[in-house]
Amino acid sequence: MGKVVGIDLGTTNSLVAYVRDGEPRVIRDSSGDALVPSVVSLAEDGTIFVGREAQRRLLTASSRTVYSVKRFMGRGIEDVQDDAALLPFRIGGDAGGVVRIGIGDREFTPPEISAFVLRELKQRAEEHFREQGEFDFEVDRAVITVPAYFNDAQRTATRDAGRLAGLEVLRIISEPTAASLAYGLDKKNRGTIAVYDLGGGTFDISILKVEDGVFQALATSGDTHLGGDDIDRALIELVIRESAGSKNAAGSKEQDPAYPAETVQAIRKAVIQAKWDLSDHEHAEIRVEPIAGLPNGYRRAITRAEFEALIRPLVDRTLGPVRQALNDAGLEPSEIDEVVLVGGATRTPLVRQLVAELFGRMPHSDLNPDEVVALGAAVQADILVSGRREMLLLDVTPLSLGIETIGGVVSKIIMRNSTIPASGREMYTTSVDSQTSVDIHVMQGERELVADCRSLARFKLRGIPPMPAGLPRVEVRFQIDANGILSVGARELRTGIEQSIEVKPSYGLTDQEVERMLIESFEHAQADFDARLLIEARNEAETVINATEKSLRRPDFAEITGGELTKDEIGQIERALIELKQVMVGTNREVIHEKTHALNHATRHLAEVMMNRSVREALAGRNVKDI
């Protein structure tokens, strides 16, 4: 059995952590950096970059670089039009199906992109364990966190990403509850906790009750489309508006679509820096160096007050879900004992201030808000594999689960904020004599009408024994597991026959699709590996060719080798050189290796002669460099 880790798969950054000697710790790179930017870039030659390197490529290869992919997990193209407009990469997909991201001539689903990030984290952890001298350093299992307010499709997409990355996903847990676990380690106290989690792309609020080591979520709410990204976007729009205005005073105030994607990325980088600066200072400058579309660059002073006025509407949007969660938990703000801040965006002073006002107490931020979720995931992973029982996390399902009934109305089967695992049952019958199948449409959401809820999946119940209409009694059982993921089973009660169920996820991948992608990713992995080996072989060949040619072209070649190398030897060198050049353009790396070896062999005597001469000259007081 390999190692187990906890992973925070974030919109902007991702982290990996593990537990050693009962203590969770994040895994850092050699420079002490724990954050892996959730950015994936595909080069023209097929090389895939992840993390910092991919982030750098945002400025040079925007259209081939994907970020904020978490916003697309488990969603359809019609959900993401607004996001797609501002992002530099191609977003497509069929209506009513999963989003597809196009880079060059390849297409990826969001779970596939996320899988690249997960693989990077897996590798980072494996390198860490290897450096620690672990014999068994392979990482094969993980707990991965998701926003509490993620629906079934989004959770499933995250689990699929884990599978594609070669990880057994032990558990999907929600980010705020994970954070509470990380905090709970030090203080094994009792009371109610509110976790306010404003991340890169999502907002979550969870209310938990802690007693006897049981972390029981009472209620959760949130917005899967609200986070630091939106703050950045507000600032980017400000810059675009103002710079377009100065460029073309009479022009429209609309965003200028003429800005190349690279320019928008340069602006994005500049505003993020200014945003960070404003967390610690009252003043900052947004500074974009001259770039295509902005030949004079752009500079603008911004005060914290201006910044806060700009983002206030966004921050205020978090208050609705907070009230909702408190209401669902049956608590007043004053009844909350502890408030915990999670997510990089909670570094913004305005956010801290609003949270403090709302709850009438200073929020906790002892743990790094970027790292606390990964730490909690590691704790949960440790609980699962070690059998430790001092802590237990009882999470809730964020959205009600229902089925479509006559007239497009949703009949709720499992209510939101039900502790998971949770189950529900519904009876079905037939409307036509001898009917043998029934269609079931599963919805998630709080609204009454199908049109206002999220379609999760369509099921077809088959194999109902032919009976007069209305006679069969088919019990359909909905089971939400501890991951918050739904499964469905059915049985005809009169005959006891188990029904087969065909699942068509509305915004997810079928198991077959995941299997296929898994196979493809192995194939790609092999292809990527082969490509790298070929490049290495060519590089090696080139080094040998260059060195040989350099010697052969020396004006004093004849003088140096005179009498020491036979004509035959020189002829062999020249033949080996030509042969290697011929095979080098091919793709057979074995042959390249072979011919490189042959050239090396043929030049061995020449190399000795050159070396001896150098030594002699050096001994004669001449500088080696002059040779």
In the set 8, 204, 230, 370, the catalytic residue is 8
Contacts of residue 305, defined as CB under 8 A and 6 or more positions apart, other chains included, come to none
The backbone torsions φ and ψ at residue 12, rounded to the nearest 5 degrees and listed phi first, read -100, -45
Stretch that binds other proteins, among 204-212, 433-441, 550-558, 610-618 (CB under 8 A): 204-212
Query: Does 328 interact with other proteins (rule: CB under 8 A)?
Result: yes
Stretch that binds other proteins, among 16-24, 370-378, 382-390, 451-459 (CB under 8 A): 382-390
Q: Is 579 a catalytic residue?
A: no
In the set 120, 152, 197, 404, the catalytic residue is 197
Q: CB of 593: closest distance to other proteins in angstroms?
A: 46
Kindly give the pairing relationship between strand 409-414 and strand 40-42: unpaired
Q: Which is nearer to other proteins, 211 or 549 (CB)?
A: 211
Structure tokens at 394: 């009882």
* Number of residues lying near other proteins (CB under 8 A): 39
Structure tokens at 318: 């978090």
Applying CB under 8 A, among 424, 551, 579, 593 the residue interacting with other proteins is 424
Stretch that binds other proteins, among 205-213, 313-321, 350-358, 571-579 (CB under 8 A): 205-213
Stretch that binds other proteins, among 29-37, 330-338, 568-576, 604-612 (CB under 8 A): 330-338
CA distance 230 to 233: 5
Applying CB under 8 A, among 81, 132, 389, 568 the residue interacting with other proteins is 389
CA distance 410 to 440: 12
Cα pseudo-dihedral 573, 579, 585, 588, rounded to 10: -110
Query: Does 109 interact with other proteins (rule: CB under 8 A)?
Result: no
Q: Which is nearer to other proteins, 146 or 329 (CB)?
A: 329
Q: Is 229 a catalytic residue?
A: no
Which parts of 155-194 interact with other proteins (CB under 8 A)? 170-171, 192
CA distance 211 to 578: 78
CA distance 153 to 508: 6
Applying CB under 8 A, among 52, 209, 491, 605 the residue interacting with other proteins is 209
Q: CB of 466: closest distance to other proteins in angstroms?
A: 24
Structure tokens at 413: 């089967």
Kindly give the pairing relationship between strand 214-223 and strand 392-394: parallel
DSSP symbol at 174: E
Query: Does 415 interact with other proteins (rule: CB under 8 A)?
Result: yes
Stretch that binds other proteins, among 7-15, 93-101, 362-370, 392-400 (CB under 8 A): 392-400
Prior bond to 468 cis, omega within 30? no
Query: Does 355 interact with other proteins (rule: CB under 8 A)?
Result: no
Q: CB of 143: closest distance to other proteins in angstroms?
A: 10
Q: Which is nearer to other proteins, 345 or 383 (CB)?
A: 383
Structure tokens at 405: 């009934």
Query: Does 423 interact with other proteins (rule: CB under 8 A)?
Result: yes
Q: Which residues on adjacent β-strands are paired with residue 91? A: 101
Q: Cβ distance 300 to 326 under 8 Å?
A: no
Q: Which is nearer to other proteins, 34 or 401 (CB)?
A: 401
The contact mask relative to other proteins for 274-313 (x = CB under 8 A, - = no) is: ----------------------------------------
Query: Does 394 interact with other proteins (rule: CB under 8 A)?
Result: yes
Q: Cβ distance 480 to 422 under 8 Å?
A: yes
CA distance 141 to 2: 7
**What is the DSSP track for 42-85?**
E-TTS-EEETHHHHHHTTT-GGGEE--GGGGTT-BGGGSHHHHH
Applying CB under 8 A, among 405, 419, 526, 582 the residue interacting with other proteins is 419
Applying CB under 8 A, among 133, 295, 387, 496 the residue interacting with other proteins is 387
Q: CB of 527: closest distance to other proteins in angstroms?
A: 35
Q: Which is nearer to other proteins, 205 or 413 (CB)?
A: 413
Query: Does 5 interact with other proteins (rule: CB under 8 A)?
Result: no
Question: What is the separation, in whole angstroms, between the first and last Cα of the chain?
Answer: 58
Applying CB under 8 A, among 216, 365, 368, 551 the residue interacting with other proteins is 216
Structure tokens at 513: 């699709």
Q: Is 626 a catalytic residue?
A: no
Q: What is the CA radius of gyration of the chain?
A: 31
Ranges of beta strands (E only) in 481-602 are 486-492, 497-498, 500-505
CA distance 151 to 397: 8
Query: Does 393 interact with other proteins (rule: CB under 8 A)?
Result: yes
Query: Does 422 interact with other proteins (rule: CB under 8 A)?
Result: yes
Applying CB under 8 A, among 385, 531, 584, 591 the residue interacting with other proteins is 385
Query: If residue 228 lies in a helix (H) or strand (E), which one and from where to where?
Result: helix 228-247
Q: What is the largest CA-CA distance in the chain?
A: 110
Q: How remote is the C-alpha of 93 from its chain's centroid?
A: 19
Applying CB under 8 A, among 368, 418, 436, 600 the residue interacting with other proteins is 418
SS3 437: coil
Query: Does 457 interact with other proteins (rule: CB under 8 A)?
Result: no
In the set 83, 175, 204, 262, the catalytic residue is 175
Q: Which is nearer to other proteins, 55 or 417 (CB)?
A: 417
Q: Which is nearer to other proteins, 87 or 193 (CB)?
A: 193
Torsion over CA: 88, 92, 95, 99 (sign): negative
Applying CB under 8 A, among 479, 551, 600, 614 the residue interacting with other proteins is 479
CA distance 130 to 531: 26
SS3 162: helix
Q: Which is nearer to other proteins, 425 or 575 (CB)?
A: 425
CA distance 37 to 270: 17
Q: Which is nearer to other proteins, 34 or 414 (CB)?
A: 414
Query: If residue 269 lies in a helix (H) or strand (E), which one and from where to where?
Result: helix 261-280
SS3 298: strand
Query: Does 330 interact with other proteins (rule: CB under 8 A)?
Result: yes
CA distance 311 to 325: 23
Q: Which is nearer to other proteins, 103 or 413 (CB)?
A: 413
Stretch that binds other proteins, among 129-137, 328-336, 362-370, 445-453 (CB under 8 A): 328-336
Q: CB of 268: closest distance to other proteins in angstroms?
A: 40
Least Cα distance to 474 among 462, 484, 482 occurs for 462
Q: CB of 218: closest distance to other proteins in angstroms?
A: 5
Q: Is 8 a catalytic residue?
A: yes
Active site residues: 8, 70, 175, 197
Binding site for other proteins (CB under 8 A): 170-171, 192, 209, 211-212, 214, 216, 218, 327-331, 335, 380, 383-385, 387, 389, 392-394, 412-415, 418-425, 479, 481-482
